[in-house]
Amino acid sequence: MPGSIRFLSVLFAMSLVACTSKAAAPPLADNGPFTGTSNTLAVSGEYKRSAIDAVERIAIEDGKLVLHSTANTEPHDLPPTADPAQQNKGWALVTEGEEAGARRLTFTHETSLDDFTILVPASDGQISYGSLGGRDGNDVLLFAYGSGSKTYWGWATIGKRPTPAQ
């Protein structure tokens, strides 16, 4: 009997270690770069904290990305490669969820069906997004989301992953 108690104690201790090692990761910083995951695309970008109270929508106005809430607006410079004349490049948000204290967003292209996933800081509220063409031939996805004291905006540059030389 003492051997089985010792065995159960060791098993219990191991399960505690396993549970603690899977504990939630620390939250993402309020500003930072990210790299998307995709089988076919190279995706990288940046997100930043916003000062508006809730994201209602986004728009391109006078060559800037403008976040709109019910109370105010907040303009931001576009990424350097973004071309505001090339709007609606066909990207759609298809799934979203939570992962390790972050918000997981997966976008798919309406014709190629290429997709990518990014992780950004967790926050409640709707996601507003749109896409532009890039001066470098890549697409640029713009997004904003959140409510209360946690609103964010960002962008991702989307290009085909280079195929390895054979």
For residue 55, is it left (φ>0), alpha (ψ between -120 and 50) or beta?
Answer: beta
Q: How far is CA 159 from CA 50, 60, 139, 164, in A?
A: 26, 22, 7, 15
Q: How far is CA 19 from CA 8, 16, 23, 25, 33, in A?
A: 16, 5, 7, 13, 29
The full length of the chain comes to: 166
- pLDDT, residue 143, reads 98
Sequence ranges of the domains in the chain = 25-160
* pLDDT interval class at 147 (50, 70, 90): very high
Stretch 71-76: mean pLDDT: 95
pLDDT, tens digit, 9 for 90 and up, residues 98-109? 988 899 999 999
* pLDDT interval class at 18 (50, 70, 90): very low
Contact 49, 151 (CB under 8 A): yes
pTM of the model: 0.82
